[in-house]
Amino acid sequence: MAPMWNYILLGFVPLAVALEVLHAPAVWIFLVSALALLPLAGLMGRATEELAARAGSTVGGLLNATFGNAAELIIAIVALLAGKIEVVKASITGSILSNLLLVLGLSIFMGGLRHSTQRFNAQAAGVMTSLLTLTLIAFLLPAFFDLAERGFFKVLDPALPDQMFSLATAGVLILIYLANIYFSLRTHKDMVSGLSDEAHHEAHWSLPVAVGVLAAATVGVAVMAEFLVGSLEEATQALGLSEFFVGIILIPLVGNAAEHFAAVVFAMKNKMDLAVQIAVGSSLQIALLVAPILVIVGYLAGRPMDLVFQNPLELAALAASILATNAVVRDGESHWLEGVMLLGVYALLGFAFFFTPK
Amino acid sequence: MAPMWNYILLGFVPLAVALEVLHAPAVWIFLVSALALLPLAGLMGRATEELAARAGSTVGGLLNATFGNAAELIIAIVALLAGKIEVVKASITGSILSNLLLVLGLSIFMGGLRHSTQRFNAQAAGVMTSLLTLTLIAFLLPAFFDLAERGFFKVLDPALPDQMFSLATAGVLILIYLANIYFSLRTHKDMVSGLSDEAHHEAHWSLPVAVGVLAAATVGVAVMAEFLVGSLEEATQALGLSEFFVGIILIPLVGNAAEHFAAVVFAMKNKMDLAVQIAVGSSLQIALLVAPILVIVGYLAGRPMDLVFQNPLELAALAASILATNAVVRDGESHWLEGVMLLGVYALLGFAFFFTPK
Amino acid sequence: MAPMWNYILLGFVPLAVALEVLHAPAVWIFLVSALALLPLAGLMGRATEELAARAGSTVGGLLNATFGNAAELIIAIVALLAGKIEVVKASITGSILSNLLLVLGLSIFMGGLRHSTQRFNAQAAGVMTSLLTLTLIAFLLPAFFDLAERGFFKVLDPALPDQMFSLATAGVLILIYLANIYFSLRTHKDMVSGLSDEAHHEAHWSLPVAVGVLAAATVGVAVMAEFLVGSLEEATQALGLSEFFVGIILIPLVGNAAEHFAAVVFAMKNKMDLAVQIAVGSSLQIALLVAPILVIVGYLAGRPMDLVFQNPLELAALAASILATNAVVRDGESHWLEGVMLLGVYALLGFAFFFTPK
């Protein structure tokens, strides 16, 4: 989960600070701070797990469920406060895409090469696909709302109802997130208990070490995120990439690399339940917790962000990834071909984003 | 099914007549006639069941299948003849929404609080979700047809092909409705027989009483519907509601309250098959029988109504409710969290309709 | 599979040649060459099976998988080279529609009249519905890409990115096609082996006869396709049909009639696995092999064809047919009512295409 190369990559953290202090070209700051985020996000996850391991299963589950995507949340808040609202929205979409298509696809493919048919808890998968469908509805609805409003009515301030509706949506999503936690950790614990037992690892770090690492890594992520966002505009121009591409492809890769690695390893060990749980659970966390928090933070900070994804390609990508995942996951078993299929959808979407003119 | 408060609410019937005669303000007539419709719709359902109980299972099933949504059909026809076509269309959508999300959601939630996992006939659920999918296609297709026609071709009278296509669609839907009845009452009776046996209750009323109550309640519904529709325009302006909101939220609540109550009670008694049957079956009846009848009645009465739902939010709402129901129902089991999810989708749609400018 | 009337219909081949030589009216050439294509396409399929029967299961499976839709591919290439790009695209959509709705619907309906519940391999069905979902995504994505590009950016040459994206999509589709063949013929052979054994028939023709028939039928298809395409414009005007209607309804019927017949016969013998395999497998072959080949051939021949289906009705039809098939097939069992439902969707689409003004 935190292998040797993770520590080596930490060398990029001081390097990024040095480049920033020396006013190095934006491209360098952008690339080095992106690389530095990889091990820092990994360390945040590792320290959270250490704390969870000491805390007993319920509180531990709660910790993992709440801080599992903390690194991405920090990066997104920094970008939001810098006014990069389209990048933030793209990173929400991109996180869901990369978890459902890239992580789950690679896990099913790599696991499937070793194991002819892999099975996982169909009941838990049923609940997950239901929640994914809710997510799809919640993310597509505001676009239709916006369309209805623009097309059928003349509004003086078109942003106002979008904003109110997005806040109401955020409230509903957080309620469902809390209901899901109560469901998994209390009323239907045994339905998913096999999962947490298997994932449960012993605490290796002392409590002060775990807390200290978490605090240091959190600060590191926040600082690197400032560098990344600060250099974003200049760097993307120099690299010939769109900010949208950075948000939808690069930021999710950087924020999720450690989880990606863990899911594939579990799949190769035929612990498919854990791999599915990481990939789908992480997507649900982004949709039901991270996205609504960003809407509320943006509202309070005077940087109002709605949930209206206006790029039709972004909407299509969300719908495609959730439809494809539901098709693959709902029968509770997987073969390598289904992994190829999910990776194929990711490739199609990647081409679409790449060929989209800047 | 017809508890005490149902009889108390009947007091609103003479009150509505008095207000109408005295030319009371439209808001009062509107609200009182809406309240008066609640017990009348309930009595129509009860009298139909009494007749069905005397009639043997096949004819009884036929009676229930045909008159189950008679109250809503009467209200819709009155509104259609008054030229309130958008209200009628909204009430069709709203009926499907409230049955699939509100009734089914509440049933699964309330039932799930008492019973950890509730199971229902997966085979029957499979047929139902297939029919829901057909419904979705039939209701979305005319909008795409309309779009294709407007966008790609210049038509002299744009309403003409829409009208012809809607009539053809109505014919196909009624054929499938008849096929479904033949399927459930004849060729695959045993697949759903557990259902009707459990639901079957003994006749308590004498035949003349049942016929008399049915006749009186039908007349009552028709009169109250006239009052409701007559006061609609003035009342909605006074209340600050859109006619669309009345059609999509209020009319379905009024027409279906008795069924809603029954489904939740069955779910709490762990008779999940019956609850699913009421909620999904009622939606299918609206889509496959009531909607096509309205198209044909409108055509014959010179008030042509097509099935083109042009409000993108209405289309999204239909798609969302059917997708969410399919996700929840298809595995033949439910937990309270899935009820929360359906109610969450209803809340999201409610917010969207509420925040839509009038 | 190749009954008597097939040989009688071959009489239309010389008749078509005669009409062409005599410069008969285009309508006659069009109709007679369409009728002549029926037995020729059937003979190509029969000869391929004869070769496959001699070749052992792997190579035989490969032959069937590659040449199963050869007749349609030839017709489409002839139309493509004649610049009838919209007809070619319509015939791709139409082939998928007619296989999923007409062939599968008729098979389930006719089979279901004789057998109350028909079961088929749910595992294989699960893989198929996953691939159908991928197909849906791959075919819808370019339209959203096109929309994003037009709506959000100003491009100098709007066709350029569409073309590049379509070529990339074609590459991904062919890769997934190859992966699927490797999956079915190598790594997961036993999962679908029951299928091929049952379908396997003994070789009746000597090798030279099989090769000769295949060559002759291929030439015949190519010549008749030339006549059909050459007379298309004049004939459709005379008949009052749109070229779109010919592409989406008529060409698929002509190219697939033999398969249609075979699938229904298998279903009536309760060999539902084979019927599903023919209908769904053929659709997948069109989407994953024929369509990408056409994109590449068009590109090489200077007749660039993208995969952007711009008619919203065509997109809706693709989505509808795949959603309906998934709903019916995913539980691994079928009843006659589900056949009625698929045929109902086909009728709705047929009405929509028919009422669309030319």
pLDDT tens sequence across A40-71: 988 888 888 888 888 777 777 777 777 778 88
| Predicted local confidence at residue C34, as pLDDT | 92
More reliable by pLDDT, B250 or A20: A20
More reliable by pLDDT, B305 or A292: A292
pLDDT per position as a tens digit, C36-53: 998 998 888 888 888 888
Section C187-205 average pLDDT = 67
| Predicted local confidence at residue A1, as pLDDT | 45
pLDDT per position as a tens digit, B91-134: 999 999 999 999 999 999 999 999 989 998 888 888 888 899 99
| Predicted local confidence at residue B153, as pLDDT | 43
Q: Where are the alpha helices (DSSP H) in A100-205?
A: 104-114, 122-152, 159-182, 193-199
Residue of C nearest to B162 (CA): C355
Could you give the 3-state DSSP secondary structure of residue B56? coil
Count, residues in chain A: 358
Does B187 contact C116 at a Cβ distance shorter than 8 Å?
A: yes
d(CA C206, CA C209): 5
Residue A10, phi then psi, degrees to nearest 5: -60, -20
Cβ-proximal residues to C178 (8 Å cutoff; 6+ apart), any chain: none
pLDDT per position as a tens digit, A270-287: 999 888 888 898 899 999
Helices (H) and strands (E) in chain C, counts: 17, 2
- Type of residue numbered B109: F
Find chain A residues with C-beta within 8 A of B348's C-beta: 137-138, 141, 168-169, 172
More reliable by pLDDT, B192 or A216: A216
So what's the ipTM on this one? 0.86
Chains that touch B (3 or more CB pairs under 8 A): A, C
Residue of B nearest to C112 (CA): B187
d(CA A17, CA A15): 5
Section A199-211 average pLDDT = 80
Among A22-36, B160-174, C150-164, the range with the most confident prediction by mean pLDDT is: A22-36
Find chain C residues with C-beta within 8 A of B129's C-beta: 327
pLDDT at B152 over 50: no
Chains that touch A (3 or more CB pairs under 8 A): B, C
Does C147 contact A312 at a Cβ distance shorter than 8 Å?
A: yes
Q: Is the dihedral of CA C317, C322, C323, C328 positive or negative?
A: positive
Q: What is the DSSP letter of C118?
A: E
| Predicted local confidence at residue A199, as pLDDT | 55
d(CA C288, CA C295): 11
- How far is the alpha carbon of B308 from chain C, nearest alpha carbon, in Å? 12
Task: Select from A100, A126, A95 the least CA-distant residue to A255.
Answer: A95
Does A127 contact B349 at a Cβ distance shorter than 8 Å?
A: no
- For residue C122, count other CB atoms closer than 10 A to its CB: 13
Residue of B nearest to C319 (CA): B137
pLDDT at C258 over 90: no
d(CA C143, CA C318): 12
Of the candidates B141, B180, B326, which has its C-beta nearest C352's C-beta?
Answer: B141
Section C258-276 average pLDDT = 88
Cβ-proximal residues to B241 (8 Å cutoff; 6+ apart), any chain: B358
- Type of residue numbered C165: F
Q: How many CA atoms lie within 13 A of C336 on its CB side?
A: 18
Q: Which helix (H) or strand (E) holds C33?
A: helix C26-54
d(CA C30, CA C224): 9
pLDDT per position as a tens digit, C148-163: 665 544 444 455 667 7
Find chain C residues with C-beta within 8 A of A312's C-beta: 144, 147-148, 151
Place of tokens 């009846």: B285
| Predicted local confidence at residue B71, as pLDDT | 87
Average pLDDT, chain B: 85
Backbone angle region of A302, left / alpha / beta, with phi > 0 → left and psi within -120 to 50 → alpha: left
Of the candidates A127, A133, A141, which has its C-beta nearest B337's C-beta?
Answer: A127
Q: Characterize the bridge pairing of strands B333-334 and B118-119.
A: antiparallel
Task: Select from A167, A177, A159 the least CA-distant residue to A296.
Answer: A167
| Predicted local confidence at residue B159, as pLDDT | 56
Tell me the residues of C at the B interface, defined by beta carbons under 8 Å apart.
Answer: 116, 311-313, 315-316, 320, 323-324, 327-328, 330-331, 333, 335-338, 340-341, 344-345, 347-349, 351-352, 355-358
Q: How confident is the model at residue B189 (pLDDT cuts 50, 70, 90)?
A: confident
Buried b (16+ CB within 10 A) or exposed e, B189-215: eebbeebbeebeeeeebeeeebeebbe
More reliable by pLDDT, A148 or A164: A164
| Predicted local confidence at residue A159, as pLDDT | 56
Find chain C residues with C-beta within 8 A of B144's C-beta: 312-313, 315-316, 352
Task: Select from B214, B208, B217, B161 the least CA-distant residue to B36.
Answer: B217
Encoded tokens for A129: 């696909």
Cβ-proximal residues to B132 (8 Å cutoff; 6+ apart), any chain: B100, B280, B283, B284, B322, B325, B326
Does C356 contact B168 at a Cβ distance shorter than 8 Å?
A: no
d(CA A338, CA C177): 12
Cβ-proximal residues to C12 (8 Å cutoff; 6+ apart), any chain: C32, C33, C35, C36, C39
Instruction: Out of B319-323, C77-81, C98-102, C245-249, pick the least confident.
Output: C245-249
Average pLDDT, chain A: 85
DSSP string, A100-114: IIIIHHHHHHHHHHH
Q: Which helix (H) or strand (E) holds C324?
A: helix C312-329
d(CA A42, CA A58): 23
d(CA A342, CA B103): 35
- Type of residue numbered C50: E
Global pTM reads 0.87
Of the candidates B126, B138, B164, which has its C-beta nearest C348's C-beta?
Answer: B138
Task: Select from B61, B187, B188 the least CA-distant residue to B123.
Answer: B188
Does B313 contact A145 at a Cβ distance shorter than 8 Å?
A: yes
| Predicted local confidence at residue C261, as pLDDT | 84
Average pLDDT, chain C: 85
- For residue B103, count other CB atoms closer than 10 A to its CB: 30
Of the candidates B116, B337, B349, which has its C-beta nearest A179's C-beta?
Answer: B337
With pLDDT > 90 as the criterion, what percentage of chain B qualifies?
A: 41
pLDDT per position as a tens digit, C269-314: 999 988 888 888 889 999 999 999 999 999 898 888 877 776 778 8
Does B337 contact A175 at a Cβ distance shorter than 8 Å?
A: no
Residue C189, phi then psi, degrees to nearest 5: -55, -45
CA distances from A225 to A47, A77, A229, B67, C77 (A): 19, 9, 6, 63, 53
Count interface pairs B-C at CB distance under 8 A: 98
Q: How confident is the model at residue A322 (pLDDT cuts 50, 70, 90)?
A: very high
Does C176 contact A351 at a Cβ distance shorter than 8 Å?
A: no
- How far is the alpha carbon of C16 from chain A, nearest alpha carbon, in Å? 44
Find chain A residues with C-beta within 8 A of C288's C-beta: none
pLDDT per position as a tens digit, B266-298: 999 999 988 888 888 889 999 999 999 999 999
Backbone angle region of A56, left / alpha / beta, with phi > 0 → left and psi within -120 to 50 → alpha: left
Q: How confident is the model at residue A193 (pLDDT cuts 50, 70, 90)?
A: low
Dump strand ranges (E) for chain A: 118-119, 333-334
More reliable by pLDDT, C123 or A221: A221
Place of tokens 């509903």: A172
Cβ-proximal residues to B233 (8 Å cutoff; 6+ apart), any chain: B26, B243
d(CA B325, CA B125): 10
Beta carbons of A236 and A82 less than 8 angstroms apart? no
Crossing angle (nearest 10°) for helices A26-54 and A12-21: 140
Instruction: Out of A145-149, B17-21, B310-314, pick the least confident.
Output: A145-149
More reliable by pLDDT, B147 or A187: A187
Q: Where are the alpha helices (DSSP H) in chain B?
A: 4-9, 12-21, 26-54, 57-67, 70-81, 85-97, 104-114, 122-152, 159-182, 189-199, 207-239, 243-245, 251-268, 272-285, 291-300, 312-329, 336-355
Find chain C residues with C-beta within 8 A of A347's C-beta: 172
- How far is the alpha carbon of B184 from chain A, nearest alpha carbon, in Å? 27
Beta carbons of A339 and A109 less than 8 angstroms apart? yes
Q: How confident is the model at residue C176 (pLDDT cuts 50, 70, 90)?
A: very high
pLDDT per position as a tens digit, B225-247: 999 999 999 999 998 888 888 88
| Predicted local confidence at residue B293, as pLDDT | 93
Find chain A residues with C-beta within 8 A of B331's C-beta: 122-123, 126, 330
Find chain C residues with C-beta within 8 A of B136's C-beta: 323
pLDDT at A3 over 80: no
Could you give the 3-state DSSP secondary structure of residue A118? strand
- How far is the alpha carbon of A28 from chain C, nearest alpha carbon, in Å? 29
Count, residues in chain C: 358
pLDDT at B137 over 60: yes
d(CA A222, CA A63): 20
- Type of residue numbered C106: L
pLDDT per position as a tens digit, C119-142: 988 888 888 888 999 988 888 887
Mutation target to probe the B interface, by most B beta carbons within 10 A, among A127, A128, A130 is A130
- How far is the alpha carbon of B86 from chain A, nearest alpha carbon, in Å? 13
Does B176 contact C313 at a Cβ distance shorter than 8 Å?
A: no
- Type of residue numbered C357: P
- How far is the alpha carbon of C277 from chain A, nearest alpha carbon, in Å? 17
d(CA A310, CA A319): 14
Find chain A residues with C-beta within 8 A of C168's C-beta: 348, 351, 355
Q: How confident is the model at residue B3 (pLDDT cuts 50, 70, 90)?
A: low
| Predicted local confidence at residue C281, as pLDDT | 87
- How far is the alpha carbon of B15 from chain C, nearest alpha carbon, in Å? 47
**Backbone Cα Rg of chain B:** 20
Beta carbons of A170 and A291 less than 8 angstroms apart? yes
Of the candidates B320, B336, B356, which has its C-beta nearest A149's C-beta?
Answer: B356
| Predicted local confidence at residue B160, as pLDDT | 60
